[in-house]
Amino acid sequence: KQEVTQIPAALSVPEGENLVLNCSFTDSAIYNLQWFRQDPGKGLTSLLLIQSSQREQTSGRLNASLDKSSGRSTLYIAASQPGDSATYLCAPYPGGQFYFGTGTSLTVIP
């Protein structure tokens, strides 16, 4: 069974900082990995999807990398803003279901 770990569990940074969120997973046999954002009490919003054949994916200030062989992915957020405050979840997809970590709770202080 896929185990997903996200570090750190919580992060508080001043506005404008660049930051890195880490995700590790135990089974490298995945089709892709997706990063989500979840606001309190809300659903999940997809941020980036990296296919297993890709090394990274970019969208605006977000950049996600994937090292499938070592079971690691990172989400890089540039020039953080208060609106980035949320919980970030990574989800490797081996087929059949998405496996989730418990997320990184990010607070960006104005």
In one-letter notation, the amino acid at residue 8 is P
Structure tokens belonging to residue 74: 């990172």
C-alpha closest to that of 73 among 100, 96, 97: 100
Q: Does 100 bind another protein (CB under 8 A)?
A: yes
C-alpha closest to that of 20 among 87, 78, 70: 78
CA distance 88 to 46: 10
**Binder of another protein out of 13, 74, 93, 105 (CB under 8 A):** 93
Nearer to another protein, 21 or 91 (CB): 91
- Site map 15..54 versus another protein, x via CB under 8 A: ----------------xx-x-x----xxxxxx--x-xx--
Considering only residues 60 to 89 of the shown chain, the ones binding another protein according to CB under 8 A are 89
Q: Are the beta carbons of 13 and 19 closer than 8 angstroms?
A: yes
Nearer to another protein, 34 or 65 (CB): 34
The footprint of another protein (CB under 8 A) covers 1, 4, 31-32, 34, 36, 41-46, 49, 51-52, 89, 91, 93, 95-98, 100-103
